[in-house]
């Protein structure tokens, strides 16, 4: 059993099918649906996740709730709801659920507060038939008639269909089909109508009377989570494919590095084209030390010794 999501109802539209048929859909939008708290068997006696959706300024949140959100490490949320989950589908605090949580063709249950109708009579509220408009009827055209029996039991039983407040109650519509999802904009298109006004909050969860599709992500469609294997492609083949792609990227990186290293080596040995090559200057020979005796004096001395 997976977690559900909290979505805002934007209104109704229609979606065209490839064969030309158009399907009436209700457009739901996810607004930062994050995990606020987790329930476990050891501490709470059951497993569940508490989700929060919708941004709200902290000044509009009560002080105890500010501390609650601060302890969880998440920003204040406008709407909170709890969903039961199985232990193997437990989530972590702070994770965000996206529209990829559901897949096209999947069946879901939608729960929301219906539109309020105010005080309504029995004809509108319980589908009673009206009285005759003529032939003796007077001031009782839309009246509900008698409500009790006789002196025994002498009371009106609880649950009697009478006029009263209509709408503004929690209602669940089961087995609605997902037509399409848009993860980038956070949109979920559900076939048919969903209780609640525009802008109302809807709790959307997997249908309890239908089988969950195999391609549905588990434990949930979390932002940044790796996509499951494509339909018809074994998991082992996908792993081999990913390994080959990783090796190819490494080889390309090594080739690029080797090429860059070769260019650096060539530039170090020879100067680039267009620049003049300067020959290294040879060191000059050291000058001979100067002596006081000149060459002429040596020659005269040698002549005197011969004579």
- Model confidence pLDDT, tens digit, residues 32-66: 899 999 998 999 999 999 999 999 998 999 999 99
- For residue 288, what are the CA distances in angstroms to 121, 285, 291, 293? 131, 9, 9, 14
Q: What is the pLDDT of residue 255?
A: 78
The single residue listed with the structure tokens 């050891």 is 42
Q: What is the pLDDT of residue 156?
A: 92
Helix (H) or strand (E) holding 24, with range, is strand 22-29
Q: What is the pLDDT of residue 289?
A: 54
Alpha carbon 307 to its chain centroid, in Å, reads 120
Confidence of residue 227 (pLDDT cuts 50, 70, 90): very low
Report which of residues 157 and 236 the model is more confident about. 157
Token pair for 180: 């399409």
Report which of residues 307 and 15 the model is more confident about. 15
Q: What is the pLDDT of residue 281?
A: 56
What integer is the mean pLDDT of 290-304? 50
- Tell me the DSSP string of 56-94: --GGGS-HHHHHHHHHHTS--EEEEEEEE--GGG---TT
Confidence of residue 260 (pLDDT cuts 50, 70, 90): confident
Q: What is the pLDDT of residue 172?
A: 95
Which of 250, 248, 246 shows the shortest CA–CA distance to 258? 250
Given a cut of 70, whether residue 243 has pLDDT beyond it is: no
Given a cut of 50, whether residue 228 has pLDDT beyond it is: no
CA distance 248 to 245: 5
The per-residue b/e assignment along 89-102, b for 16 or more CB within 10 angstroms, e otherwise, is bbbeeebbbbbbbb
Confidence of residue 223 (pLDDT cuts 50, 70, 90): confident
CA distance 305 to 307: 5
Q: What is the pLDDT of residue 118?
A: 96
Token pair for 294: 């000149």
Q: What is the pLDDT of residue 285?
A: 54
Token pair for 194: 């969903």
Q: What is the pLDDT of residue 140?
A: 85
pTM of the model: 0.66
Given a cut of 60, whether residue 253 has pLDDT beyond it is: yes
Q: What is the pLDDT of residue 258?
A: 79
Mean of per-residue pLDDT scores for the chain: 82
What integer is the mean pLDDT of 4-16? 94
Token pair for 122: 């029995």
**Each residue's pLDDT tens digit, 183-222:** 999 999 999 999 999 999 999 999 999 999 988 888 888 8
What integer is the mean pLDDT of 179-186? 92
Q: What is the pLDDT of residue 71?
A: 87
Q: What is the pLDDT of residue 230?
A: 44
**Each residue's pLDDT tens digit, 102-135:** 999 999 999 999 999 999 999 999 999 988 888 8
Q: What is the pLDDT of residue 145?
A: 87
What residues form DSSP beta bridges with 52?
A: 34, 80
Given a cut of 90, whether residue 246 has pLDDT beyond it is: no
Structural domains present in the chain: 1-117+166-245 (2.40.30.10)
């Amino acid at each position: 059993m997976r977690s559900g999501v909290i979505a805002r109802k934007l209104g109704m539209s229609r979606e065209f099918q490839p064969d030309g048929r158009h399907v009436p859909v209700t457009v739901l939008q996810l607004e930062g649906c994050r995990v606020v708290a987790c329930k476990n068997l050891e501490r709470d006696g059951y497993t569940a996740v508490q989700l929060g959706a919708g941004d709200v300024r902290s000044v509009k949140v009560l002080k105890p709730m500010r501390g609650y959100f601060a302890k969880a490490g998440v920003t204040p949320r406008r709407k909170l709801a709890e969903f039961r989950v199985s232990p193997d589908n437990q989530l972590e605090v702070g994770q965000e659920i996206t529209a990829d949580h559901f897949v096209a063709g999947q069946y879901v249950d939608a729960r929301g507060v219906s539109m309020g109708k105010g005080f309504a009579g029995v004809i509108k509220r319980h589908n009673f038939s009206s009285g005759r408009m003529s032939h003796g009827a007077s001031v009782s055209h839309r009246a509900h008639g008698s409500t009790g029996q006789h002196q025994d039991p002498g009371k009106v039983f609880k649950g009697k269909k009478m006029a009263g407040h209509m709408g503004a109650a929690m209602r669940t519509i089961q087995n609605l089909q997902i037509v399409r999802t848009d993860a980038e904009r956070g949109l979920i298109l559900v076939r048919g109508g969903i209780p609640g006004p525009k802008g109302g909050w809807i709790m959307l969860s997997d249908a309890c009377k239908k089988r969950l599709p195999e391609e549905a992500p588990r434990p949930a469609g979390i932002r940044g989570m790796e996509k499951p294997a494509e339909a018809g492609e074994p998991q082992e083949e996908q792993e081999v494919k990913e390994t080959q792609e990783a090796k190819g990227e490494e080889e390309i990186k090594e080739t690029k590095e080797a090429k860059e290293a070769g260019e650096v080596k060539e530039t170090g040995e020879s100067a680039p084209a267009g620049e003049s090559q300067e020959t290294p200057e040879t060191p000059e020979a050291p000058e001979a030390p100067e002596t006081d005796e000149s060459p002429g004096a040596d020659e005269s001395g040698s002549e005197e010794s011969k004579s």
